Each structure stands twice: as C-alpha cells, then as structure tokens.
Amino acid sequence: MLVVFHTTMQQARYYFVDQSGSVNNIGSLGMWLAAHAWIGVPIFFVISGYCIMATLHARRDKGVVEFAKRRFWRIYPPYWTAIGLSTIVILALNTRWPGLIHDGIFTVPNPDKMSAWEWLGNLTLTESWRHTIFGGNATHLLPNTWTLCYEEQFYIMAALILLFASRRIFTAAVVVTAIILVGKTITWRCGWEVKGSLFDGGWFQIAAGILLYYRVNRATAAQIPWINAVLLLGILISLHSPRQLLEFYPNHDTERFVAYSFALAMSFLYPYDQRLKKASLLSPLRRVGGMSYSVYLCHPLIAKGISFAFFRAGIRGNIVTLFGVLPLTLGLSLAVAYIFHRLIERHFIPKSNSLRTSAKTAPVLSLSGPMASVA
C-alpha cells in the first residue's frame, strides 16, 4: 500500500489539488484510492503493537537485555546499510539528473546539506522527535523512516515494561497509555510541538494492536465483548467529523478510524486466520511479508525517482501512472528488496521466532506486514 502511495502521490496531488480534478472515471477513481493508500501506516502500527506484545509475552523470562540486543540487531544494521547505499545513490543521481529526487513532493534531502544534528537523528532513529528538543527541523534521508523512528520509541517503552513489569505487561501497557493520554492533553493545551513523539497521539494506534493481542491470546469470553466495545467506541469518537475521512491529506481522525476499525475487524476475523494463512491465493503476499523490512527500506528512492522522472517529462495521466509507472516501480522495488533481503537483511533475523514460541501456549494471529517481519 505504501509503495502505491509513494509512487502515485505526485500525480494525485497534481490532479486533485493543482487541477481541482474530481472522481469521474476509472482513472480518477483509481488515483483517489491510491492517494488514500497511506492508511497502510495505521495498519502498520496496529500490527506492530500486536507483534511486539507477542514478543514481550513470549520472552518475558529472557530479560530486557536480550530484548534490546534482538531489537538492535534486527533493526539497525540493515537500516544503516540502506542509509549508506541510499546516500551513494542520491549523490550519483545528482551528478546526472539534478533535482530528480529533491523537487516535487515526497522529497529526499541532499546528504551533503544535512546538518550534524540531522545526521545524528537519522543514524540513531531519533529524527522524528529530536527536533522537538534541539537541533532544528526534522529531515529524514529516507522520508518514510519517520515511522521507524516512532517504532524505536515504542521499543523503548516495551523495554521499560519488560524491565519493571515483566509479570504484568498488559497492566503496564494500560498505565503507559494513560500517561501518554495525559501527556498529549497537556502538550496540546500548552501548544508544545510534539509531532513525531509518542505524545502526538500515534501511540493509540499501537495500543489498538496491544489490545488486539490481549483479546486473541488472553481475554476471557466475558472480556471479549468489552474489548470490542472499546474499539467500537474509538471508531465512533474518530467519526466526530466524518468529512475528515474524505480529506485528501492524512489526518489524525482517519488514522485512528482505520486503526480501530482494522483491530476490530481482526477481532472478528481471527477464527478464520489459519484458513487465510494457508490460502494459495495469498502466497505472493506472504512472500513479500517475509522481506517487508527490505521493501520498506529500498522503495523510497525507486518510487520517487521513477514516478517524478515520468511526471517531470510531462507524462502525468492517471491511467498511465496507475497502469504504467506503478507496475514498473512496484516490480523494481520488489526486485531490489529481494536482493537486499538475500544479501543483507536475512543475516540479522533471529534464528528463533518469538511468535512461534508463543503459539505453543496461545493462538497467535498471523500478520504479514513491516513489523510482522521486524518483530
């Protein structure tokens, strides 16, 4: 979904915003759907909450040091490799096609113009919130990695839960959610800049995934209706301004609506999980799920470079973008991601799978997504 979004966002912006286009044929309908494929992000956060809670539950006897080592080894070496290779590619592109990836939208910064603070934030995956404390504005070398910076904050919270409440991880998750709710309220009332930090509200999408894990693996029959009711309440609160769901740009109401709706849907679809897992029709998606971190790291420059090259050349139609540019970008992204996965990522995947471990004692929902692979 995010490869689709990043590939089509320039044309979608041009058609719907610059030209004030409307949905009046198959091409514009497809572009409208592609322009809203960013809803993969809240789905991503729900999956993350589920998978990391599964990891904590399965490895609560291993200790926080083991958890931290596994998180670091799984995330940072492939990420640093991608950053290094991306820097080389960006500098090379600048010598042949200057401005190709720096102009338009979904822009990629010029590495030699990034400050030391920006490099520090990128290399440590703190860039999404660093700017709220020091060092100026946030700049991501790979624009999509703000979500990974957000994940790192979640990992820190997970490590603290494992350190101080390994036997009460679900209670601790509720306490953390309450603290963040209070913090968000205070920062909002005070007008403090907290975008990119846990206090901007994104945590509640992750919390939906934590609640889903509890519903599938720990909840009693009497608790399940209450859990579903909480998710339904979240959906209804997100609908206080229904027109937001039709907005062209991402917004918090739609993010929460999608997250809570996805979690509630998974709550009801859980009994069909194994049947879906074995469906041959979904085999290609399972394969992508196995290398999804590589897809996440490798697609930004490809999506930006190819899509903007066509756009800059005057090829701006909805149909040609959807059925010409998009398949090209998607195919190349998956091919490069496969090579990156084989050469780099797979060497940093832990041999033991914590989700399989937990499946011995409790049923586990099978989810193939960025954090399903990373967790």
Tens of pLDDT along 158-193? 999 999 998 899 999 999 999 999 999 999 899 888
Query: In this predicted structure, what is the pLDDT of residue 251?
Result: 87
Instruction: Answer whether 164's CB lies under 8 Å from 172's CB.
Output: yes
Instruction: Average the pLDDT over each of 87-96, 286-295, 363-372 and give the range with the smallest value.
Output: 363-372
Query: In this predicted structure, what is the pLDDT of residue 135?
Result: 82
pLDDT at 358 over 60: no
**How far apart are alpha carbons 64 and 72 in whole angstroms?**
12
Tens of pLDDT along 21-74? 999 999 999 999 999 999 999 999 999 999 999 989 888 888 899 899 999 999
Return the closest-CA partner of residue 127 out of 112, 105, 143, 104.
143
pLDDT at 246 over 90: no
Tens of pLDDT along 103-147? 999 999 999 999 999 999 999 999 999 988 888 889 999 999 999
Query: In this predicted structure, what is the pLDDT of residue 352?
Result: 58
Angle, CA of 288, 285 and 144, to the nearest 5°: 50
Number of other residues whose CB lies within 10 A of the CB of residue 58: 21
Distances from the Cα of 158 to the Cα of 65, 172, 259, angstroms: 12, 9, 20
Tokens for 252?
A: 């918090």
Tens of pLDDT along 194-243? 888 989 989 999 999 999 999 999 999 999 999 999 999 999 999 988 88
Burial 266-282 (b: 16+ CB within 10 A, else e): bbeebeebeeeeeeeee
Q: Which amino acid is at 217?
A: N
**How far apart are alpha carbons 236 and 211 in whole angstroms?**
17
**How far apart are alpha carbons 198 and 212 in whole angstroms?**
20
Number of other residues whose CB lies within 10 A of the CB of residue 187: 17
Tens of pLDDT along 136-147? 889 999 999 999
Segments in the chain forming alpha helices (H): 2-13, 26-35, 40-58, 64-96, 116-124, 127-130, 146-164, 169-190, 203-217, 223-238, 252-269, 273-277, 283-290, 292-312, 318-320, 326-343, 354-359, 370-374
**How far apart are alpha carbons 168 and 211 in whole angstroms?**
14
* Per-domain residue ranges of the chain: 2-374
pTM: 0.89
